[in-house]
Amino acid sequence: MFRVGDKVCPYDNMGITGTVVGMYEQKSEQWMTSGAMMPLWIIVVELDADQDVVEFRADKIRKVD
C-alpha cells in the first residue's frame, strides 16, 4: 500500500504532509474468538514542514496526489 518515498498526509489533518522513510509491523496484543488479530503496519514519515520524524498507523494516513 505504501512505499518509501511516497507523499502522505493524515486523514484528520490533511494540512500536514510528509514523505515515507520507513515502515514496520506491530503485532497485536488483542485476541478474537478465532485467534489473534492481524498485525498493524506503522508508517514512519518525515514531515515536510520541519523534518520531524513521526509514526502513523497505516489506516490513519493516505497518499497525496
Q: 49: which 3 cell numbers? A: 514542514
Output the pLDDT for position 1: 85
Residue at 2 is within a domain: no
Residue at 16 is within a domain: yes
Residue at 1 is within a domain: no
Residue at 12 is within a domain: yes
Assessment of whether the complete model's pTM goes beyond 0.75: yes
Output the pLDDT for position 36: 63
pLDDT digits (tens, 9 = 90+) for 5-46: 999 999 999 999 999 999 999 887 777 777 667 788 999 999
Residue at 13 is within a domain: yes
Alpha carbon of 12 to those of 16, 22, 36, 62, 65: distances in Å?
9, 21, 28, 10, 17
Residue at 32 is within a domain: yes
pLDDT digits (tens, 9 = 90+) for 48-64: 999 999 999 999 999 99
Residue at 26 is within a domain: yes
Residue range of the domain that includes 17: 7-63
Residue at 46 is within a domain: yes
Number of domains in the chain: 1
